[in-house]
């Protein structure tokens, strides 16, 4: 049973400034669970700089629970276990199975370790999404062990990267003909060497490497399951046994692993970057709020664009920036349903009307659309039909002169006269929405061309 500390929401200053997990609770149940490198500062941001998500439930909070951990890695693991156990409403509602992350460990002599999305256990074969740039591959469910789910993919990757320094493991799908760079960086034991002619002549090398790799894999498995103390105890016991058997070289290697593991668990920083990036964004946000007359903190901005050639296979895009950075978990694409002649105004109206029906995607703080006054007017009119979106401000950017039209303001503003931070952010949003729309449009066009052949 987790031993949480409890505080009222007006006692935030009494929260520890250390790594750990926290939960936000109303009178009856836990609404949200999060992790932090500094619990006090992270909880403060929910109340003092609420995001689009926070605004939905922050008024319901009556109590804050917290639990300190030794390290950020342990906070990441504990967060995953607690979310799985309690299923908090506002952790679950913004994610589907494809947005969770799992650590996969194959059941082989030399296990492969990689990150994937949630496996479909009911299927006999599961298509595993791998590292970008590599081909997907199929693994039998029963031949692969999955540990998770984890919410934060970036932090999970960073945690495995750190653990790999202590416990080298294999990530390649097939053994290469010769050791790769990871071997030379001491991040992989290079089981590919067992295929060499020399290894075939010395069978003992195969068994020795297998034992080492299996030990490393079990250690990593134990750590990501939250069994740090058990892993350390087992390693120390093995080290002592080897020393008694006068296997001093092997014992020294395990000793170094124990020392390195204790060190990285105490000092590893795996998700501090997100808070620092948010701090960098605060100046830009203040300028945005002033320009667009917004009292609330502008965290989430959605941008929309239409891509078409004479109205054929037209596509719409929605891209999302959170605290000034793109978050592809919230990207969406739309196949335009209009069968009439090209009409940019009608197309952008269709896309936004469809978006306004999806409250489960979360609420933005600001919406940027591609177009001028006509596009702005139809989207505002459509927005007013959706109660949950009525208070969200709409702005439109006309490409030709980079002229910005703002809801409720009669005069437009040229982007070039705005502060550099705002100028850059608006252009990044516009360009990313344009890129994403064009990419989907080309995909539809290619599909349409082949279907006619």
Pick among 3.20.20.80, 3.30.590.20, 3.20.20.70, 3.40.1440.10: CATH of 5-92: 3.40.1440.10
Q: CA distances (Å), 72 to each of 68, 202, 265, 334, 357, in order?
A: 10, 42, 8, 39, 38
Structure tokens at 81: 């276990």
CA 160 centroid distance within chain? 15
One digit per residue, pLDDT tens: the chain, 453 residues?
467 788 888 888 888 888 899 999 988 889 999 998 889 888 888 887 776 677 778 888 989 999 998 888 888 888 988 888 888 888 765 555 556 788 888 888 888 888 887 565 433 333 333 333 444 444 454 578 888 778 778 888 888 888 888 888 888 887 777 777 787 787 888 777 776 665 555 555 667 778 888 888 888 888 888 888 888 888 888 888 888 888 787 788 888 888 888 777 776 666 655 555 566 788 899 899 999 988 888 889 999 998 876 556 788 999 999 888 888 888 999 988 876 666 889 999 999 999 999 988 888 999 999 999 999 999 999 999 988 898 899 999 998 889 999 998 889 999 989 998 999 999 999 999 999 988 888 888 776 654 544
Element containing residue 158 per DSSP (H, E): helix 153-166
Q: Which pLDDT does position 125 carry in this prediction?
A: 33
Cβ partners under 8 Å of residue 12, min gap 6: 40, 43, 44, 47, 64
Give φ, ψ of 28 to 5 degrees.
-110, -35
Q: Which pLDDT does position 382 carry in this prediction?
A: 92
Element containing residue 366 per DSSP (H, E): strand 366-370
Which residue, among 234, 80, 94, 93, has the nearest Cα to 147 in the 3D structure? 80
Burial of 99: CB neighbours in 10 Å, binned 0-12, 13-18, 19+ = middle
Q: What's the DSSP call for residue 131?
A: S
Domain-wise residue ranges, the chain: 5-92, 97-267, 284-452
CB atoms within 10 A of CB 366: 22
CB atoms within 10 A of CB 103: 22
| Beta strand spans in 19-100 (E) | 20-25, 30-36, 63-68
Q: What's the DSSP call for residue 315?
A: E
Q: For the chain, first and last CA: distance in Å?
A: 63
284-452, superfamily in CATH? UvrC, RNAse H endonuclease domain (3.30.420.340)
| 8 Å CB contact between 47 and 34 | no
Q: Which pLDDT does position 305 carry in this prediction?
A: 92
Q: Which pLDDT does position 130 carry in this prediction?
A: 38
């Amino acid at each position: 049973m987790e031993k949480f500390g409890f505080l009222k929401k007006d006692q935030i200053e009494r929260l520890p400034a250390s790594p750990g997990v926290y939960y936000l609770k109303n009178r009856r149940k836990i609404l949200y669970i999060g992790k932090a490198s500094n619990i006090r500062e992270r909880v403060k941001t929910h109340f003092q700089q609420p995001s689009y998500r926070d605004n939905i439930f922050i008024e319901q909070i009556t109590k804050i629970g917290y639990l300190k951990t030794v390290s950020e890695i342990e906070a990441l693991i504990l967060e995953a276990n607690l979310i799985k156990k309690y299923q908090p409403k506002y952790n679950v509602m913004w994610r589907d199975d494809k947005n969770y992350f799992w650590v996969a460990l194959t059941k082989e002599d030399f296990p492969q370790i990689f990150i994937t999305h949630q496996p479909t256990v009911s299927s006999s074969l599961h298509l595993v999404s791998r590292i970008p740039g590599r081909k997907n591959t199929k693994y039998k469910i029963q031949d692969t062990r999955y540990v998770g789910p984890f919410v934060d993919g970036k932090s999970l990757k960073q945690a495995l990267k750190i653990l790999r320094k202590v416990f080298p493991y294999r990530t390649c799908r097939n053994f290469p003909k010769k050791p790769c760079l990871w071997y030379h960086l001491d991040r992989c034991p290079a089981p590919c060497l067992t295929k060499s002619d020399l290894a075939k002549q010395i069978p003992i090398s195969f068994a020795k490497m297998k034992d080492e790799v299996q030990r490393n894999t079990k250690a990593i498995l134990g750590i990501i399951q939250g069994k740090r103390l058990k892993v350390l105890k087992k390693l120390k016991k093995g080290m002592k046994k080897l020393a008694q058997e006068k296997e001093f070289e092997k014992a020294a290697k395990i000793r170094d692993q124990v020392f390195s593991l204790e060190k990285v668990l105490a000092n590893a920083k795996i998700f501090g970057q997100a808070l620092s990036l948010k701090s960098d964004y605060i100046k830009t946000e203040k300028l945005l709020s002033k320009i667009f007359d917004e009292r609330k903190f502008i965290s989430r901005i959605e941008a929309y664009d239409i891509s078409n050639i004479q109205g054929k296979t037209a596509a719409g895009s929605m891209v999302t920036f959170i605290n000034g950075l793109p978050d592809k978990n919230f990207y969406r694409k739309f196949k335009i349903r209009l069968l009439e002649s090209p009409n940019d105004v009608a197309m952008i109206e269709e896309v936004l009307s469809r978006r306004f029906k999806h409250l489960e995607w979360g609420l933005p703080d600001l919406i940027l659309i591609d177009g001028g006054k006509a596009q702005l007017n139809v989207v505002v009119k459509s927005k007013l039909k959706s109660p949950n979106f009525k208070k969200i401000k709409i702005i439109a950017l006309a490409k030709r002169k980079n002229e910005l039209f703002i809801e409720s303001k009669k005069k437009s503003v040229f982007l070039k006269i705005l502060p550099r931070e705002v100028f850059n952010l608006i252009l990044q949003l516009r360009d990313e929405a344009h890129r994403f729309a064009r990419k989907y449009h080309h995909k539809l066009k290619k599909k349409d061309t082949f279907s006619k052949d």
